[in-house]
Structure 1
């Protein structure tokens, strides 16, 4: 599993209805995309308390071929054409879990980044993070959650989909989920991914 996200930060006075319409008319295009585990079409707004207006799609790829096909194909080129070329963040997948609300459509999402201390053993840090992740996945309202790592910056990423629009504040940065494409969600596996 590979996690991927790009953040498109928009002006403070940007009409976020444009993003809603974009997702409503184009979101279904990835509903059966080969190699895609899931794509959460995420947005956050200043009027809801976010520090920025932002469109920030998040992907879990079941195969690197699927990710490459998207990045070097017309899907990502649409983003580049409309918003410029964003930095594409990506992480190696460590764990994936379905939560107690797995059958519900996600309404909210959270992203939490945690830097690993330089003196901490990566093996111990990742092992502990996977154990904690499995426990957090059992929280009420969790639809699904993924844990990934960026070994370049030694940063852990926890991404969680929630059945409600107001996830717990301590879960990380909060987003609205406008649409979920999940053609390969069942193929992401569960638990530790190695």
Structure 2
């Protein structure tokens, strides 16, 4: 799941950094959480045209998502209003060569499933795509939004890559909570 809170171009992003520094460890032991990447976009950094606070989560099971949305998420709604929360059905999770290191960067790619290809075939084709370039990638998660028939690929990186994938959205990761990351099943999830 991910929510993205757009912030003004002149917003003091230091306020988000302080928020994460003082509150980020609250999810370090959160039940059912594989990983929460406290992701941000900053105007001009990695080519971003916007400022945004956009954490994303991989859940070990849906009970964690429910517990979060109906509990601690109130901190977000109190401070920023109620942003839309995107959520997807997991298709695969792969550990990369940087898996043992802390993620510091993330990319998100979203693509529509082709209309002329069966959804399962399109997902299988995506799963057959090569791994991210380089040895700095931490993990790769592929998911599907069946309400929009979109594929989303989140890649966490233990080092900032030389280039962001074409069409990818770059994020700095200020902190990563990973209480059940090692427990997430790997490979194809169906």
What band does the TM-score fall into relative to the shorter chain?
A: over 0.9
Preserved contact between residue 136 and residue 160 of structure 2 (Cα < 8 Å)? no
1-side partners of 2:133 and 2:73: how far apart?
34
Q: 1:138-175, CA deviations, whole angstroms, 9 ceiling, x for partnerless residues? A: 74211111000001101000000111134522261100
Other-structure match for 2:99: 102
Q: List aligned pairs for 1:27-46, cutoff 5 A.
A: 27-46=24-43
Q: 1:47-89, CA deviations, whole angstroms, 9 ceiling, x for partnerless residues? A: 313111000000001111111000001x100000000000000
Query: Whose helix fraction is larger, Structure 1's or Structure 2's?
Result: 1
Normalised to the residue count of structure 2, the TM-score between the two structures is: 0.95
Q: List aligned pairs for 1:87-126, cutoff 5 A.
A: 87-126=84-123
Q: Secondary structure at the match of 2:90?
A: strand
Other-structure match for 2:14: 17
2-side partners of 1:193 and 1:123: how far apart?
12
Query: How many pairs are equivalent?
Result: 188
2-side partners of 1:44 and 1:138: how far apart?
22
Decide which of 176, 181, 185 is 2:172's aligned counterpart: 176
1:128 aligns with 2:119: no
Q: List aligned pairs for 1:35-74, cutoff 5 A.
A: 35-48=32-45, 49-73=47-71
Note the C-alpha offset of 1:119: 1.4
1-side partners of 2:121 and 2:44: how far apart?
41
Other-structure match for 1:147: 142
Task: Rate the CA distance shift 1:174–1:138 in 2: closer, same or farther, 3 A.
Answer: closer
Other-structure match for 1:191: 187
Preserved contact between residue 98 and residue 143 of structure 1 (Cα < 8 Å)? yes
Q: Secondary structure at the match of 1:54?
A: strand
Q: Secondary structure at the match of 1:89?
A: coil
Q: 1:115-138, CA deviations, whole angstroms, 9 ceiling, x for partnerless residues? A: 112111112101111121xx3157
2-side partners of 1:88 and 1:167: how far apart?
30
Normalised to the residue count of structure 1, the TM-score between the two structures is: 0.93
Q: Extract unaligned runs of 5+ from structure 2.
A: none
